[in-house]
Amino acid sequence: MDDKTKTGSPDRDLINAGEYYEIEYWSKRFGITPEKLKSAIKAVGSSAKAVEAYLHK
């Protein structure tokens, strides 16, 4: 669960797929659809760096 009282790293390094606003933010940041983002998270986990690497392979 996303603890909104904790900000910064490592919280900003993880994508919480259960939060709509995070899916929206990261989808826009990576320039992909929310569905593609969710698929990437399923493939490599919730680390933003791992998702980015997966998307750029």
Range of the domain at 20: 15-55
Q: Is residue 10 part of a domain?
A: no
Residue 49 lies in a domain: yes
**3 belongs to a structural domain:** no
**Residue 4: inside a domain:** no
Q: Is residue 9 part of a domain?
A: no
pLDDT for the residue numbered 2: 55
Residue 20 lies in a domain: yes
Per-residue pLDDT tens over the stretch 6-41: 655 556 799 999 999 999 999 999 999 999 999 999
Q: Say what the pTM is.
A: 0.79
- Judge whether 19 lies within some domain: yes
Total number of domains in the chain: 1
The crossing angle, in degrees rounded to 10, of helices 20-30 and 48-55 is 40
Does residue 7 belong to any structural domain of this protein? no
Residues 44, 54 contacting (CB under 8 angstroms): yes
Note the pLDDT of residue 20: 94
| Cα-Cα-Cα-Cα dihedral sign, residues 23, 19, 44, 42 | negative
Residue 57: pLDDT band by 50, 70, 90 thresholds? confident
More confident residue, 52 or 8: 52
